[in-house]
Amino acid sequence: MSKDLRAVRGVLFDMDGTLYDSESTSIFAWAVAGREYGLSIPRRFMVECIGLPTRDIEEKFYKELSRDIDYKEFRARKLKVMSDIIESAGVDFKPGVHEMLACIKKLGLLSAVVTSTTTSRALYNLKAGGILESFDTVVSGDMVKKGKPAPDCYILAAKKLGLKTSECLVAEDSRNGILAASAAGCVSVLIPDILEPDSDMLAAADYVKKDLTELAELLEGAQR
């Protein structure tokens, strides 16, 4: 049964794949860096990394791809590819981002970005898109001991906003993210991106929406 949205006082957003259409860019960057380092990286591996914190991706990289390549150097090259794309083409927002931010402001709700990436990368991306000031706080993967799918990041975000997790709505696109939101006790909203939802994702989601425009309409209707 879907949770009541009238108690929601804060909205927590995943960044990549939820606010920004960046997952496809990330996969492209994985492939580019992989070729440069002589690696043939399966798409499955890239998709499985979606929503994971950096340290978990590093462990997965060494376990499944190569122990002979310095992951930090590899990651720096991958991020450079992504940064070059952002600088040349700009940030590509997911549908409904600005409508959702306007809805939050109209309803007087608090907001946060909760991402598995590092603080420096999160701030870079949010500044590049011109939306950093739209949020009350940012929680990144290097702020918690256990990343998604553990609930720690969403629990911390709620604490930073001075709210209970039950008063927070989470918008997520990834498997790890939606499981984390559900485990934290938040109202969990799945907005699928490139990853087809599996049964666990659907079971963890209180709501499933096509995009943030649909979520804004749902939230505004519930809080009138």
Both 138 and 204 in one domain: the answer is yes
Q: Where a domain ends, among 89, 116, 132?
A: 89
Domain with 186 in it: 5-21+92-222
Name the pLDDT band for 1 (thresholds 50, 70, 90).
low
Both 189 and 112 in one domain: the answer is yes
pLDDT in tens, 97-113: 999 999 999 999 999 99
Question: For tokens 């309409």, what's the residue?
Answer: 217
Residue 77: in which H helix or E strand, if any? helix 71-89
The pLDDT score that the predictor gives to residue 159 is: 99
Both 28 and 112 in one domain: the answer is no
Spatial separation of the C-alpha atoms in residues 224 and 222, rounded to whole Å = 6
Both 141 and 206 in one domain: the answer is yes
Q: Hey, what are 171's tokens?
A: 């918008």
pLDDT in tens, 114-140: 999 999 999 999 999 999 999 999 999
Determine whether 16 is an active site residue. Answer: yes
Spatial separation of the C-alpha atoms in residues 189 and 172, rounded to whole Å = 6
Determine whether 14 is an active site residue. Answer: yes
Spatial separation of the C-alpha atoms in residues 175 and 173, rounded to whole Å = 7
Both 42 and 116 in one domain: the answer is no
Q: Where a domain ends, among 89, 119, 139?
A: 89
Both 16 and 28 in one domain: the answer is no
Both 170 and 99 in one domain: the answer is yes
Both 172 and 129 in one domain: the answer is yes
Both 76 and 132 in one domain: the answer is no
Both 102 and 177 in one domain: the answer is yes
pLDDT in tens, 161-203: 999 999 999 999 999 999 999 999 999 999 999 888 999 999 9
End-to-end CA distance of the chain: 21
pLDDT in tens, 25-57: 889 999 999 999 999 999 999 988 987 888 999
Question: Looking at the 3D structure of the chain, how many domains does it have?
Answer: 2
Q: Active-site residue among 16, 173, 193, 206?
A: 16
Closest CA to 209 of 109, 123, 121, 100: 100
Both 161 and 107 in one domain: the answer is yes
Name the pLDDT band for 73 (thresholds 50, 70, 90).
very high
CATH number, position 102: 3.40.50.1000
Both 167 and 84 in one domain: the answer is no
